[in-house]
Amino acid sequence: MNKFPSLEQMAVTSEATLRDALNVIDLNGQGACFIIDKDTLIGVLSDGDIRRALLEGKLMDSSVLQVSNDSFVSLPINTPLKEIQKKLKEYIRIIPIVNKENKLVDFVTASHYHHIPLTQPVLDGNELEYVTDCILSGWISSQGKYVGQFEELFGKYVGNENTLAVSNGTVALHLALVTLGIGPGDEVIVPDLTFVAPVNAVLYVGATPVLVDVERDTMAIDIELAKHAVTDRTRAIIPVHLYGHPADMTGVMDLAEKHNLLVIEDCAEALGSKYKETHVGNFGDAAIFSFFGNKTITTGEGGMLLFKNSKNIEKARMLRDHGMSKERKYWYEYVGYNYRMTNIQAAIGVAQMERVSEFVLRKRWIAEHYKQCLSDVKNITLPGEFGEVYNSYWFYTIVLANGLSSSRDSIINDLIENGVEVRPVFNPMHIMPVYSPYRVSGENYPVANSLAQGISLPSSVTITESDIHRVCSVLRNLLEKYQLDTIHLS
Ligand SMILES: *Cc1c(COP(=O)(O)O)cnc(C)c1O
C-alpha cells in the first residue's frame, strides 16, 4: 500500500560512490539520499549536488564524502509537525529526522510528513470486485449471495455455524438480549471499563446494567467482584474482551453456572482471539462481533450475532426482519426490527474474511515489535497475554504509571502534534452522569480509573517497522520530558 520509500531505500553508506548514490536516488524517486555511517546520519546528497560535482570534474566513482553537503538540515524526532511544515516551506525539499544519538529514524518531504494513523481499513483485496458485482447485478439490499457467504465464512473461522449478519455490533447486542428474553426487572452485569454499546443495549431492553470493576492485567471484568454483584434479579453477564484480550472465561462460566446466568460475549474487539485454544464467542449463550471501520475486519458498519443454541438463531433471524413469520408473509410473530446487513456490506465482509488470518498475524507482529521497543521504558505498563490466551491485539494499549497520569492528555496532544495518532482508553462508565446510577454501592472502581490513564498506540495492519520505531522514539522522548517536569514540580 505504502509506496513511499522506506529508510533503507533512502540511505547509502559512507563507502558509497556517486554512482551508488545516483542508483539509490533513481530507485527512491525522492531526488536525494542520506549518507549513513553506522546508523549515524552524516550527510544528505541531492541529485543536484551530484550533477554539480560531475560538471566540476568529479568522477562517477568518487566517494560520496567528497560531495556531501555537511551543512544539511535535520530535525530531532519530537519536532512538532508545525515546525516541520515551516522548515519545508523554506524550500528544503527533504528533511531527515534523527534521534538524540543522531541516528536516522525518519524523514519528511513536502508531500509526505509522516502521519501515522491509529488504524486504517485495508480494502485492497477483492472488496472492489465483489462490491462491483453487487452493483452490476442490482443486488444491493439485504438479499443476495454475499450475506449468506459472509455468515458461513465467519462461522467457519470462529468455529460456530449459528451466525447472523446484522447492521452493526450494537444492534447485535440488542438482538441478543431480546432473543434471550432479558427485559425489565432483570439485572445484567457489565464491566465498568468498556466501549458504551453493551451498557446501552441492556438499557434498550429495559433491564438494569450493574457496573463491575475490571482486572488490571486483562482489562476485562473482575470475576471476584462480579460474584459480589450477583443478586436474585441477576439474569446475565456480558464479558467484554477489551482491546483483544479475552476475559477470564473459566471464571465467567463458573459464575454463570452457579447462579444460572446467561452469558453474552462482546467480542467486538477480539476477532482472532482465543481462550484456552477456543476462539472467543464459543463460550457464552450468545456472542457479538462488530465490523465498524476500525475493527479487525470491517464492512463499513456491520455486526455478527452468534448463538450456542440453533433455536435462538431462528428467533433472532425473525426479529432481524420485523418479526415476520418464515411460513407466512406479512404475518408477525414478534414485534421485531430491521437489523439486516446489506449485500454490499457482506460483499466487503467476504473479501475481508479472505484475509482475516493475515490481519490477525499482523496485529500480533505489531505487538511483538512494540514490546521489543518499549520493554525498557519506565513508568508504562505494556499489554500482554495473561492466562491461557491468544491475544489478537486489536489496539496496542499501554497504561501510564500513576505519577504520569496527570500528564496523559498533554502526552496524547504532543503525540498527535508529532504525527502519531493515538487515542485515550475509554472512560470508565461510572464517572458519566447517565451511567452513574448503575454503580455498585460502596465501589470506587480503582482499577478502571487507573487503566483509563491508558493510551492506544497506532495499530493499523498497514503500519511499517520504521513507523513503529518512530512511535516508540517519540513516546520515549515525551515520557522522559514529562517525567522531568513531574520531578521539577514536586
Ligand atoms: C465497536 C464495539 C461494539 C459495537 O460497535 P458498532 O459500532 O455498533 O458495530 C460493541 N462493543 C465493543 C466493546 C466495541 O468496541
pLDDT of residue 473: 86
Contact 156, 353 (CB under 8 A): no
DSSP state of 324: B
pLDDT of residue 412: 95
Looking at ligand 1, which atom is closest to the CA of residue 241?
13
- CB proximity list for 308: less than 8 A, separation 6 or greater: 160, 162, 282, 284, 285, 286
Phi/psi of residue 482, nearest 5 degrees: -70, -30
- In 10 A of CB 398, how many CB atoms? 19
User: What Cα–Cα distance (Å) separates residue 137 from each residue in 130, 132, 144?
Assistant: 10, 8, 9
337 shares its domain with 364: no
pLDDT band at 1 (very low <50, low <70, confident <90, very high): very low
* Cross-strand pairs, 266: 240, 288
Q: Is the CB of 266 under 6 A from ligand 1?
A: yes
Which residue's C-alpha comes closest to atom 14 of ligand 1? 268
pLDDT, one tens digit per residue, over 290-326 is 999 999 999 999 999 999 999 999 999 999 999 999 8
72 shares its domain with 148: no
Report the CATH number that the domain containing residue 459 is assigned in CATH: 3.90.1150.10
265 shares its domain with 345: yes
361 shares its domain with 345: no
349 shares its domain with 363: no
Grid cell at residue 356: 482475516
End-to-end CA distance of the chain: 47
CA pair distance 85, 101, nearest whole angstrom: 23
158 shares its domain with 273: yes
pLDDT, one tens digit per residue, over 69-81 is 778 889 987 777 7
Query: pLDDT higher for 68 or 100?
Result: 100
- 68-82, 194-208, 405-419: least confident range: 68-82
Whether 2 is covered by a domain: the verdict is no
Closest CA to 275 of 123, 357, 387: 387
Contact 448, 192 (CB under 8 A): yes
Phi/psi of residue 386, nearest 5 degrees: -110, 115
pLDDT of residue 286: 98
Whether 205 is covered by a domain: the verdict is yes
Closest CA to 385 of 191, 248, 278: 248
pLDDT of residue 3: 60
- 335 CA to centre of ligand 1 in angstroms: 24
Tell whether the model's pLDDT for residue 208 goes beyond 60: yes
| Average of per-residue pLDDT across 251-255 | 98
- 47-51, 208-212, 234-238: least confident range: 47-51
Query: pLDDT higher for 81 or 158?
Result: 158
pLDDT, one tens digit per residue, over 98-109 is 888 898 888 888
Share of the chain above pLDDT 90, in %: 80
Whether 399 is covered by a domain: the verdict is yes
| Average of per-residue pLDDT across 143-147 | 96
332 shares its domain with 399: no
Pairing of strands 234-237, 262-266: parallel
Give the helix/strand (H/E) hosting 305.
strand 303-307
Name the residue of 292, 341, 348 to mutate for ligand 1: max ligand atoms within 8 A of Cβ: 292
pLDDT of residue 488: 64
What's the structural domain count of the chain? 3
Whether 225 is covered by a domain: the verdict is yes
Last residue within a domain, chosen from 353, 385, 417: 353
Whether 481 is covered by a domain: the verdict is yes
Tell whether the model's pLDDT for residue 18 goes beyond 70: yes
The upper half-sphere exposure of residue 281, i.e. CA atoms within 13 Å in the direction of its Cβ, equals 30
Residues written for the chain = 490
- 322 CA to centre of ligand 1 in angstroms: 23
Report the CATH number that the domain containing residue 37 is assigned in CATH: 3.10.580.10
193 shares its domain with 322: yes
pLDDT, one tens digit per residue, over 429-450 is 999 999 999 999 999 999 999 9
Contact 43, 65 (CB under 8 A): yes
pLDDT, one tens digit per residue, over 341-356 is 999 999 999 999 999 9
**pTM listed for this prediction:** 0.85
Closest CA to 224 of 246, 243, 200, 252: 252
Share of the chain above pLDDT 70, in %: 97
| Average of per-residue pLDDT across 205-229 | 98
Last residue within a domain, chosen from 323, 353, 383: 353
* Cross-strand pairs, 303: 166, 290
246 shares its domain with 278: yes
Grid cell at residue 321: 426482519
pLDDT band at 2 (very low <50, low <70, confident <90, very high): very low
Q: According to the 3-state scheme, what is the secondary structure of 423-443?
A: EECCCCHHHCCCCHHHCCCCC
368 shares its domain with 466: yes
150 shares its domain with 86: no
Residue 440: give the domain boundaries: 357-489
Whether 116 is covered by a domain: the verdict is no
pLDDT, one tens digit per residue, over 26-47 is 999 899 999 999 889 999 999 9
Contact 349, 299 (CB under 8 A): yes
| Average of per-residue pLDDT across 140-147 | 95
173 shares its domain with 262: yes
Name the residue of 266, 296, 339 to mutate for ligand 1: max ligand atoms within 8 A of Cβ: 266
| Average of per-residue pLDDT across 378-387 | 96
Q: Is the CB of 200 under 6 A from ligand 1?
A: no
pLDDT of residue 419: 84
pLDDT band at 487 (very low <50, low <70, confident <90, very high): low
Whether 233 is covered by a domain: the verdict is yes
Q: Is the CB of 144 under 6 A from ligand 1?
A: no
Phi/psi of residue 478, nearest 5 degrees: -65, -40
| Average of per-residue pLDDT across 234-241 | 98
Last residue within a domain, chosen from 53, 74, 109: 109
CA pair distance 365, 398, nearest whole angstrom: 16
Whether 121 is covered by a domain: the verdict is no
User: What Cα–Cα distance (Å) separates residue 112 from each residue in 85, 108, 116, 127, 231?
Assistant: 10, 6, 11, 27, 57
- 292 CA to centre of ligand 1 in angstroms: 7
Give the helix/strand (H/E) hosting 36.
strand 32-37
Report the CATH number that the domain containing residue 263 is assigned in CATH: 3.40.640.10
- 163-177, 217-231, 396-410: least confident range: 396-410
